[in-house]
Structure 1
Amino acid sequence: MPTKRQALILAEIVRIYNETGQPVGSKTLMNQLPIRISSATIRNEMAVLEEDGLIMKNHTSSGRIPSTAGYRYYLDHLLQPSVVSPQTFSTIAQDFDHEFHEIDDIVKQSANILSNLTNYTSISLGPETANVTLTGFRLIPLGDDQVIAILATSMGSVESRVYRIPTSISSDDLEKAVRIINDRLVGLPINQVKSLLKAEIPRVLTRYLHSPDGFLDLFGDVLRHAAAEHFYIGGRSNLLNFAQSDDLDRLKSLYQLLDKESVLPSLLNLRQPENSSATKPPSGPISVRLGDELDNSLLADYGLITARYHVAHQGEGIIAILGPTSMPYSQLIGLMQLFTDELVKKMYEYYDQFHDDS
């Protein structure tokens, strides 16, 4: 455990290195520290920090840089979030000052705003769908045995997809199937709809349709897409700006990483207990995971700041920043605290308007 003076030196090394990208020497620290101590004393304290694995020597300089363990200690024990500037607050408010027709539009915009503000990659996930209900289902013929299936939910979202109808299903059968879905499933939570689709609904459809399997496949597919977790990514190419590699295959793998369906739930630690290092500002928990904690070798030199937010009656969502280990965490965590507050406020405005119009 570092002493108070060692912790002060570590915090200053983190701050200076994050701002300049340059290794930090004892003379620089002597001029920057809020207490007056000699260069020799600083070197002695830095030697202890290095022995403890909290800082390390850069091969191209006599200065020191924070290690991953040093960042971890700084995040867990020393970090103080910065106050967001009025200019940044004004930018966020202005970028959210639009009329949004679906909640996913707000979630997508949040990723773009955060990426533009930070020049890092951002990831957003809207509130969970546990309380979302099915509000309607329609099939519109397009010709050539094709239909467009339209499914609406209580969140105000609409999922539409084009399907080719098997020749074994007549137009009369399709009309009957749509009526059955609307009569029996509209108003029910999506999770309950999915459960009924496995057992009760096939039995009901069998009474009225000659061959319900094709319709069940269609409805099940559009329902799955409507209920899926919709991730949005802002500034994807920013991820490559901090890659310390001239290996083109590795850079390609890094860029494509976020396209993999299994990566984002794992990266955001969904369905996992909260990280023990999470801080809890008023807007919700904010956690930071570094390098090996992300459990992906491509992200060994990256950090992930995750903020969870809660919208009453709608559930919990996530906004995250993915960038280099040397991100300015004090500024970014202060920004995330404010940003989640503004995001939640915008979502409440949307839901209030949606319910007023309905």
Structure 2
Amino acid sequence: MLTERQELILKTIINDFTQTHDPVGSKTVMSQLPIKVSSATIRNEMAALEEKGLIEKTHSSSGRIPSTAGYRYYLDNLVEPLQLPENVYQHIMQQLDQPFHQVNEIVQEAAKILSDLTNYTAFAEGPESRNVTITGFRIVPLFNRQIMAILVTSDGNVQNQVYNLPRHISGDEIERAVRLLNDKLVGKSLDEVTPSLLAKSLGKHTSSQQANELIALVEDVLKDAASDQMYVDGQINLLSNSSIGDSSHIRSLYDLVDRNDLLSRLLDTTDDQQLGGRSVRVRLGSELPGDLLKDYSLLTAEYSVGSHGKGMIALLGPTNMPYSQVLGLLEYFRNELAKKLLDYYGRFQ
């Protein structure tokens, strides 16, 4: 552990570096410390912090910059979330106070709000859908033997997909199958609708080949409806927040945020360190998988919508971000998003 004075100096260096992105010298620290300390004492304390690996000296200046270990100590022991300016509160409330028609619209807007407010890359995942039930299943004919399968769930979401209709299945057979499915599926949760239930519902009334085609179609729609919807906004901010100009590096970053399988691993918070019991978790670049994000930090916050499940919001930005402001934003925003979703779900009760 550090002494109180060393903690003050480390905190001052991090706060100044966050603002200027320039190495911080002893004179700058002395002018900003809330206590009176000589420059010689500050130099000695900075040397002690450097020995502990919490700050580093750059080649181009006599000043110091925070190390990864320094940021980690700061995040675990010193950081305090700040209250947001009033105009930020108003912006969030205004953007969330829209006539949303689906949960996914709210979650997608959440990612956009966070990206707009921070100029970082933002992620938002909707609440789990285990308790959501099916309220309707429809087939709409299009053209050239194409149909649209539409699934409506109890939370107001509408899932649809377009399929090419096999020639051996007629429109009348599809309509009859849809009536059968509605009789069997409406009122059941997404988890309850298994392949065996679908086969049992359709097998007695359609040929085996037709049943297999329809079961595959329904399974696809159900899979999409039950899958976690992850929305990403502000991908372009990866360019401004990266210190590496290599185009292949930038392409890899874009690939990372566009692939759901990579995102799931990146946003897995199972082993994250938690900040003093607070709701926002922070991982620095060295704590993230691979070297691709070594200059970034990932902040994740879980939100709860009661019986409707839990969701997640996250920000990916530079390591030298203003953590106090961003932590304050995420802690406030996760609560506002939960309130908005609870209000939305209340319309269907």
- TM-score interval for Structure 1 and Structure 2 normalised by the shorter chain: over 0.9
Aligned to 1:207: 204
Name the CA distance, whole Å, in 2 between partners of 1:147 and 1:36: 76
1:314 aligns with 2:308: yes
Deviations 1:278-324 (A, max 9, x none): 4444xxx2100111222132111100111111011211111111100
Aligned to 1:247: 246
Aligned to 1:232: 231
The code of the aligned residue for 2:202 comes to L
Counterparts of 1:330-341 in structure 2, within 5 Å, are 330-341=324-335
CA contact (8 A) 1:240 1:254 kept: no
Aligned to 2:323: 329
2:346 alignment partner, one of 327, 335, 352: 352
CA contact (8 A) 2:238 2:250 kept: no
1:13 deviates by: 0.7
Name the CA distance, whole Å, in 1 between partners of 2:258 and 2:118: 21
Counterparts of 1:82-93 in structure 2, within 5 Å, are 82-93=82-93
Counterparts of 1:125-274 in structure 2, within 5 Å, are 125-193=125-193, 196-197=194-195, 199-210=196-207, 211=209, 212-269=211-268, 273=270
Aligned to 1:287: 281
CA contact (8 A) 2:273 2:282 kept: no
CA contact (8 A) 2:181 2:202 kept: no
Name the CA distance, whole Å, in 2 between partners of 1:146 and 1:111: 33
Name the CA distance, whole Å, in 1 between partners of 2:197 and 2:225: 21
CA contact (8 A) 1:302 1:322 kept: yes
Name the SS of the counterpart of 1:297 in structure 2: coil
CA contact (8 A) 1:165 1:214 kept: no
Deviations 1:187-206 (A, max 9, x none): 1111121xx22x23214422
Name the CA distance, whole Å, in 2 between partners of 1:29 and 1:75: 20
State the percentage of identical aligned residues.
48
Moved more, 82-91 or 318-327: 82-91
Deviations 1:311-352 (A, max 9, x none): 112111111111000110001111111111221221122122
CA contact (8 A) 1:279 1:287 kept: no
Aligned to 2:68: 68
Aligned to 2:107: 107
Name the CA distance, whole Å, in 1 between partners of 2:88 and 2:271: 29
CA contact (8 A) 1:240 1:255 kept: no
Name the CA distance, whole Å, in 2 between partners of 1:311 and 1:78: 30
Aligned to 1:40: 40
Name the SS of the counterpart of 1:299 in structure 2: coil
CA contact (8 A) 1:57 1:64 kept: yes
CA contact (8 A) 2:103 2:341 kept: yes
The code of the aligned residue for 1:17 comes to F
Name the CA distance, whole Å, in 1 between partners of 2:176 and 2:67: 65
CA contact (8 A) 2:55 2:65 kept: yes
Which residues of structure 1 form unaligned runs of 5+?
none
CA-atom RMSD, angstroms?
Answer: 1.4
1:85 deviates by: 1.4
Name the CA distance, whole Å, in 1 between partners of 2:260 and 2:103: 21
CA contact (8 A) 1:53 1:70 kept: yes
Name the SS of the counterpart of 2:337 in structure 1: helix
Which residues of structure 2 form unaligned runs of 5+?
none
CA contact (8 A) 2:181 2:201 kept: no
The code of the aligned residue for 1:130 comes to R
Deviations 1:158-207 (A, max 9, x none): 011110111222333322321222111211111121xx22x232144222
The code of the aligned residue for 1:217 comes to A
1:274 deviates by: 5.6
The code of the aligned residue for 1:209 comes to T
Name the CA distance, whole Å, in 2 between partners of 1:156 and 1:280: 35
Name the count of aligned residue pairs.
347
Name the CA distance, whole Å, in 2 between partners of 1:10 and 1:119: 26
Name the SS of the counterpart of 2:2 in structure 1: coil
Deviations 1:77-114 (A, max 9, x none): 11111111111111111111211001111111111111
Moved more, 175-184 or 33-42: 175-184
The code of the aligned residue for 1:241 comes to S
CA contact (8 A) 2:154 2:348 kept: no
Q: Sort the Cα spacing of 1:34 and 1:68 in 2 relative to 1 into closer, same or farther, 3 A.
A: same
The code of the aligned residue for 1:164 comes to N
Deviations 1:217-246 (A, max 9, x none): 111111111111111112111011121112
Aligned to 2:52: 52
